[in-house]
């Protein structure tokens, strides 16, 4: 198996759910970092969901409040999230074009 270290940069996440990571068939991702930055003058509330290969979605984080012009690290202190093939990480904000995401992960193929 080969491992590749990657970064996903997703700007302007808003009220429409965004698939920030989608694992291709035959691959696996290990998330090692996720930083969410509020780019607005207002407090925003975000949800992060994980979807499995059967399209079942569950909350990883529900209603995380991020103050104006600050950020939140949601994968910290050595925590890791394993996403199996055909899984997704989905982020939604309560405010349009309000959150930038930087996600670090290892892709295992």
**For the whole model, what pTM was predicted?**
0.93
Could you state, in order of their start, the residue ranges of all structural domains in the chain? 3-108
For 3-108, the fitting CATH number among 3.30.450, 1.10.150, 2.60.120, 1.25.40 is 2.60.120
Question: What pLDDT digit, counting tens, does each position of 24-40 carry?
Answer: 999 999 999 999 999 99
User: Could you tell me the mean pLDDT of each successive run of 10 residues in the chain, 109 residues long?
Assistant: 92 98 93 96 98 95 98 90 95 98 93
Give the pLDDT score at 74. Answer: 94
3-state secondary structure 36-93: EEECCCCCEEEEEEEECCCCCEEEEEEEEEECCCCEEEEECCCCCEEECCCCEEEEEE
């Amino acid at each position: 198996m080969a491992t590749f270290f990657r970064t996903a940069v997703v700007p302007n996440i808003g009220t429409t759910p965004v698939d920030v990571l989608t694992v291709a068939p035959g691959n696996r991702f290990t998330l090692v970092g996720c930083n969410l930055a509020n780019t607005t003058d207002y407090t925003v509330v975000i949800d992060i969901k994980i979807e499995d290969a059967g399209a079942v979605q569950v909350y990883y984080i529900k209603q995380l409040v991020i103050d104006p012009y600050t950020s939140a690290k949601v994968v910290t202190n050595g925590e890791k999230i394993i996403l199996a093939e055909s899984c997704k990480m989905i982020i939604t904000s309560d405010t349009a074009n309000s959150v930038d995401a930087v996600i670090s992960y290892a892709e295992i193929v």
